[in-house]
Amino acid sequence: MEAFLLSTGIVALAEMGDKTQLLSLMLAARFRKPWPIVWGILVATLCNHALAGAVGSGVTQVLGPEVLRWVLGGSFIAMAVWMLIPDKLDDDETPSNASKFGVFGTTLVAFFLAEMGDKTQIATVALAAQYQQWAAVVAGTTLGMLLANAPVVWLGERLVKKVPIRAVHVVSAIIFLLLGLAAMLGWG
């Protein structure tokens, strides 16, 4: 349960102001069909994070526990620093062929690709490596993504303007830093 809850909270916080959250806002504004967008986000995240979780679980079998502890600690500290760098949606990530794939397909492809190498995907790898509970981590990170992105799809710009993104990023960075230090010191 700890792996699930921590994964949910970490990813929900990390996703605030992230480029995939901006992508959710853009898709909602463009299509105005929230359900296919949310379903696309769900399926894309499940696929992406299932792969990331598998990589995280596999890493633990390649590295010894002592090396893994330092790699995880360093990864979480790097995530803390990364959280303090604002995200923006690049022009080349804007789905231009929306009519070809429909709302669900456009969301699925755009979200899956935007999530590649993203903070939340890297966090999923690290959490899966740390907890060795692939299903709990993937379920938690997927729920965290939905908690952060579904309200944006439905409430859009009104919600984004009221959330202090910088404060959320600082809190997320502190949590990642504490996780990194805990891993390096062998706590938990």
Task: Give the DSSP letter string of 21-70.
Answer: HHHHHHHHHHH--HHHHHHHHHHHHHHHHHHHHHHHHHHHHHS-HHHHHH
Number of domains in the chain: 1
- 79-121, pLDDT tens digit by residue? 778 767 765 555 444 454 455 778 999 999 988 988 888 888 9
Which tokens sit at 156?
Answer: 């859009």
8-63 pLDDT, tens digit per residue, is 999 998 888 787 887 888 888 778 889 999 999 999 999 999 999 999 888 877 88
Range of 88's domain? Answer: 2-185
- Model's pTM, two decimal places? 0.75
Eight-state DSSP code of residue 87: P
What token pair was written down for 123? 């966090």
Is the separation of the CB atoms in 118 and 19 below 8 Å? yes
Helix (H/G/I), strand (E/B), else coil: 83? helix
- In the prediction, which pLDDT does 1 show? 92
SS3 185: helix
Look at residues 182, 57, 186 and name the one whose alpha carbon lies nearest to residue 126. 57
If DSSP codes are grouped into helix, strand and coil, which group holds residue 187? Answer: coil
